[in-house]
Amino acid sequence: MTSTCEHRALSGIVLVAICLALVIALATLSPAESVTYMRIDRTVLEKRVQIVPSTLQDRLRILRAQFRNAGCPDVLWQPVPNAELPNLICTLPGSEPGIIVVAARFDYKSHGDEERVEWATMELLPLLAESLNSAPHRCTLVFAAFTGHDHNFSGSTFYLKSLTEDHLKNLRGMVFLDHLGRASPAYAYPFDHSPSRMAEVGKGFGFQPDARDLDVLVKNISPAAQTLKLSRPPEINNIAATDSRIFAEAGVVAINFHSVAYTTLSRFDGTGVRVLRTELDPAVYTDTYNLLCAYVLLVDKALPKAGHPN
């Protein structure tokens, strides 16, 4: 016979196994939406961003290996004229026509806290690829590390020019990641686009949004945050130019996710005070990673089919 102690031990093992399974494969539910993805534990995230590559070549080598380890069937090394680094692109094929590009800057040359934040932002690309690889998604997900930031965004420009006409028509949206993990993320349009302006831009890639679909990229920020019980990222303006502008100019709806270099603390009298925040915050970084996983999957679900009006 099995003793009571043995029963308790077995029950404990089962509970541990269940907890581990929930860490590995998380299904987050809300009344309106459901998304499922492989959730990477915070301790693993912290280890991934702890050591910052010392050279550009180390950065290239590490990121390329991480894309492969994430399960990308093909990692594209795309040399860009007059750029020190190539574009590095991981593609996860979808079940339907349509492409969502998630990108970050590859050729940053910062130091100190900012360098660590920029590396952590870059690390989100293979982390997202690893988490979403086995998740059901309609669109092809492209995770792109773009070079040429200081040369009129030559990396993203070259990438778009290299696409076939069919691929260009299938571009459904672009999400740019910028300086994430130091404070809670916010979002911004390229060129300070309003939703109505984004609707006009949307006409350029095969469908004309109506009042219900003015801006799929912005409309799914709240559901993603609610799914994870996080605060909704606010809109900000006047951020530095990013590669999202190149995509917007090509007729692709685009959005930036950016964390500002300060946080606002509340005084006892209810007023707020801004405090400089330049260091990477592991808790904020973990929340941002999870938010982006849910967000990309919700956008994938919400985007109209290629060539369809709604």
As given in the structure block, the two tokens for residue 178 are 């910028």
The arithmetic mean of pLDDT across residues 174-188, rounded, is: 95
**Structural domain spans, the chain:** 22-302
Radius of gyration of the chain (CA): 20
Q: Which top CATH class is 22-302?
A: alpha beta
Statement: residue 98 has pLDDT above 70:
yes
Task: Examine the pLDDT at 59 and tell me if it is beyond 90.
Answer: yes
From CA 109, how far away is CA 38, in angstroms rounded? 32
Mean of pLDDT values over 50-64: 93
In this predicted model, what pLDDT tens digit does every residue of 133-176 receive, in sequence order? 999 999 999 999 999 998 899 999 999 999 999 898 899 899 99
- At 194, give phi and psi (nearest 5°): -90, 165
Decide if pLDDT at 28 tops 60. Answer: no
Q: Please give the structure tokens belonging to residue 261.
A: 């270099």
72: amino acid identity, one letter: C
CA dihedral 118, 121, 122, 127 (to 10 degrees): 150
